[in-house]
Amino acid sequence: MKEFKESVIKALLPQLILLELNAQPRHGYALINLIRKKHGVYLGPSTMYPTLVELEKQGLIHSTWQVNDRPRKLYEITNRGRTLLGQNSAVLTILNKTIEVRQP
């Protein structure tokens, strides 16, 4: 069951990223932690960051550098990303509720 859940999350990762970035801009590491907490699946940097790069190439998200204690990229959804998310929102909502891990 765990392998199935991981494969579903990985397949939906671009859409999940758009969904989470629509709520608020986030760093890549924060997205990794959020998906682990919400869905119980650990996705490492080698999975997350190439997906973020691809979404940025497609114009669905954009990033800006923030330099506080250390430089980090902050990712935000674009209008094009919101449009795509809106087109898929009903399906994503159903899938998100289905695979969401409920905390006791």
pLDDT tens per residue, range 8-19: 778 888 988 998
Give the chain's domain count.
Answer: 1
Domain-embedded: residue 2: no
CATH number, domain of 66, equals 1.10.10.10
The whole model's pTM is what? 0.81
**Residue-range definition of the domain harbouring residue 62:** 12-99
Domain-embedded: residue 87: yes
Position 6 confidence tier, pLDDT thresholds 50, 70, 90: confident
SS3 string, 26-94, reads EEHHHHHHHHHHHHCCCCCHHHHHHHHHHHHHCCCEEEEEEECCCEEEEEEECHHHHHHHHHHHHHHHH
Domain-embedded: residue 79: yes
